[in-house]
Structure 1
């Protein structure tokens, strides 16, 4: 079964079987374009979120220091602007999301501290360019967790605190309070990723005790239920599913009703990109690979139905490049 993505693209990607030779035939969809480099120092383990027509990127580590600088990206002008620095301690592997026009971040890791894991929680107001510390995350201090926003609430769960975790907590910004939500039904994990489609969250990837995890879950906030979407080897698309899911420290995003997994570590640093159709519960591998260097610990965000991947690291270097991805554009190897 073809996914929605192929349907969206059919009008612009008709290929002539009889006239195309090997040099022009391609089954890849979507196009990556390099944008103006991130203006902060190279880094990995940063945070990002989108509010309105802007994206925000900051924190992380340059390999020597834990960073607190914070930047706004305007895609319409391809322009980075330095904003008010984060007033808490620098950190990496931090959860971030946007909710009701404000940005939020919490948890993380800083091994310069006596207690390396963190549980403080902060709100960023883009209208005033100010930070406000909010009620601490009440779960254990941790890093490499996942977070997302649904129906006016924020959620943080999974991660690592010396133990691999699967608990989830719900944040109400109106009352500045936390409530424990139903824990993830699947395996404990760290370095997973989450994306949201049509008011439901999807949790994928990660590892537990150094082992890749292959389960895949959907969270419905209306009754805090988890649905197992894992595919097994009797399914025709199992091999594609397995290749998509078997990674950690990757990124994810959703555009036009489809979810995407990209980059991370899968045996080695990878540039692969996979799309997910929630209506068919199917994964596709005919997505143009990320055109920057293979990497992990990058950030991803979406502005105006276009996705972006920025920063990150591989075994030898950290990055400050940023790439846009248009899933509806025809692949162009020369742009």
Structure 2
């Protein structure tokens, strides 16, 4: 079914009168409370879920396919499990193949509903792998995919951009850090070497968002670091971004939801363990501290995202391995939103949520909106979003520039009636 949501956006910035154009890439900071029944955004929320039925796990892998999670491997382990996000239950699946006793510090990703596990090793037997295995969740079967031409490695990173998987870094069998970088094509089942990373890296944090790949922290040249790099697949180049603002670390976890990256946990020299999380905005190149992870101070956990929610768990502290499992739901309203003026258009990025029974509508408005010649009035083209229960909604709107604030007001027609939500931002 299709339902209508209408938006009124009123925007202005202190350096301009209402008849002047907005500067390119102006970022507005969220400053106000939401109002209106049913539209107050949730705070960042952690919820404990059913623990994995196996014993504690560290250095494992996880990926998401068909809105469910798949977790396996780790130190001393080659078992593999499926987690049903709807029923909050775990089921034992076929073991990760090509493994004698264990597969630890591998990396995993998913492309077109097929999960992949690459490399890693068996630390108990001093083995290191460079094979690639694919998992079909619908049949519970593994199959061999093309082996990477590069060296075998543990502690590599991976991310996916537009159905291409990228894998790089890690440590070879001698323990030397690596900086080579490879692209895997599912369609061709082949690997292509890409531009090296700017520095060697192992046990890093990586994610993709906004059609770019990001790598931060980890072990760089033998020590924990906070350097952050962005990979642009369109130019096959790396560029330095703002350094991570927390303590230098390695061995934590990272994921992305929308245009935002999330990194947290891990360890550092001196017996330090971390329970903190940070966000990275791929729009503003800014880091923001979040609330702490409720599972405590751990390194080598796993994480994956399904239906806009992240799941984080397991890991180790000292010699204690954990099997706990937590769901993370980000705040409904983005703390920042962005409007950029081109010659005839704005680029608009706004994220928020509207309550609708148990079927909240998670709205992200990225894209181009047309403007008049004075750039003080703009229109948002009609688009469709889907609520958490699968119902479709049509969205359209308009806006204008006045005074020194940007105000976004939504008027939503749902089964609950008409709901109006308003928040304000300031340059």
Establish whether TM, by shorter chain, passes 0.5. yes
Question: Which has the bigger relative contact order, CA under 8 A and spacing at least 6?
Answer: 2
Residues 168-214 of structure 1: CA deviation (Å, up to 9, x unaligned) = 011111221111111112x2111001111122111011113541122
Are residues 316 and 180 of structure 1, via their aligned partners in 2, closer, same or farther at CA, if it must alter by over 3 Å? same
Give the 3-state SS of the residue equivalent to 2:103 in structure 1.
Answer: coil
CA contact under 8 A between 2:200 and 2:221: conserved in structure 1? no
CA distance in 1, matches of 2:131, 2:233: 24
Q: How much has 1:310 moved relative to structure 2?
A: 1.1
2:210–2:282: 8 Å Cα contact kept in structure 1? Answer: no
Q: Is the contact between residue 279 and residue 288 of structure 2 (CA under 8 Å) also seen in structure 1?
A: yes
1:32 aligned partner: 46
Query: 1:34-55 CA distances to partner (integer Å, 9 max, x unpaired)?
Result: 1011112211001100012101
- CA-CA distance at 1:259 after TM superposition: 0.9
Deviation at 1:8, TM superposition (A): 11
Distance across 1 between alignment mates of 2:273 and 2:32: 29
In structure 1, the residue matched to 2:263 is 261
Question: Which consecutive segments of 4 or more residues in structure 1 shift more than 6 A?
Answer: none
Q: For residues 315 and 171 of structure 1, do their structure 2 counterparts lie closer, same or farther at Cα, with a shift above 3 Å needed?
A: same
CA contact (8 A) 1:68 1:88 kept: no
Aligned length: 296
Structure 1: how far apart are the matches of 2:61 and 2:33?
Answer: 35
In the alignment, what sits opposite 2:118? 106
Given that residues 249 and 268 in structure 2 are in contact (C-alpha distance below 8 angstroms), is that contact kept between their aligned partners in structure 1?
yes
State the partner residue of 1:280.
284
Aligned to 2:217: 205
Q: Could you say which residue in structure 1 is the equivalent of 2:81?
A: 71
SS at match of 1:321: strand
- Superposed, 1:174-253 pairs within 5 Å as 174-185=187-198, 187-231=199-243, 241-243=244-246, 246-253=248-255
SS of equivalent residue, structure 2 residue 316: coil
**Larger helix share, 1 or 2:** 1
Cα deviation digits, residues 56-83 of structure 1 (max 9, x gap): 001112xxxx212111111111111111
Residue aligned with 2:246, SS: helix
TM-score, normalisation: structure 2: 0.66
In the other structure, the counterpart of 1:143 is 154
Q: Cα gap change, 1:184/1:126 in structure 2, threshold over 3 Å: closer, same or farther?
A: same
Task: Label 1:118 to 1:11 Cα distance change in 2 as closer, same or farther (>3 A).
Answer: same
Residue ranges of structure 1 left out of the alignment (5+ in a row) = 13-27, 232-240, 331-335
Q: Please tell me whether the aligned partners of residues 5 and 258 of structure 1 are also in contact (alpha carbons under 8 angstroms).
A: no
Corresponding residue SS for 1:86: coil
Match of 1:130 among 138, 141, 144: 141
Larger of the two Rg values belongs to structure: 2
- Between structures 1 and 2, the one with greater strand share: 2
Find the partner of 2:67 among 38, 42, 53.
Answer: 53
| Residue 292 of structure 1, CA deviation | 0.7
- 2:386 aligns with none
Give 1:29 deviation, angstroms: 4.7
2:388 corresponds to which residue? none
- Aligned pair partner of 1:326 in 325, 329, 334: 329
